[in-house]
Chains A and B, each alone.
Chain A
């Protein structure tokens, strides 16, 4: 069965600093990978996704993520964090070949941004 690990439960950065949120997955075949963000009182918003092709994917709000098969990782990055990026971030994997599309989520990483 697939699984996702987000090693960092809580990360604090200063506004303007760079950011990297870690995600490791376990899945036997090529996974479909997602990053979602949840702001307080909001639903899960899709930041970006990887299905195939270029291993560096661009998303909304200036985020990018890189798929590294050798490390089973899909880390999320942003070069300069804004205060509005404070939220909880979830990495998720979708088992390929499953038409009905069950997502498996990581624990989530809470991002705090200091002014």
Chain B
């Protein structure tokens, strides 16, 4: 069964550094998402991406964050100038099209900013 994959599973970085979280969505899916979950808090929407552009973003997704689909398979989240409060589990999700509302999630990347 196709699944969403994410790398790395864990990432530790120093405050102020840049990190790139990688995701491989299910092939032939058209809509891509990033969510995050700070320890003990809700899963929160960050950004949605369709047709090679951001379709919606939350207030969390400030100008330090960016997303990219550099090729036909990868979907990346870049965080520049990381802050302590960026420490969280980051989930990637994908969806086929608007007739299929189900989003399929990856296992997550645990990011720790020191």
Give the B-binding residues of A (Cβ under 8 A). Answer: 32, 34, 36, 41-46, 49, 51, 90, 92, 94, 98-108
Contact = CB atoms under 8 A, between A and B. Distances in A.
Given A43-B106, A44-B91, A51 B101 contact: yes
Interface residues of B, number: 27
A94 B104 contact: no
Interface of B: 4, 6, 31, 33, 35, 41-45, 48, 50, 55-56, 58, 91, 93, 95, 98, 101-108
B43 A90 contact: yes
Contacts of A46: 102, 104
Given A43-B108, A51-B101, A105 B48 contact: no
A36 B45 contact: no
Nearest to B104: A46
Contacts of A45: 105
Contacts of B48: 100-102
Contact of B105 (A43, A94, A102, A107): A43
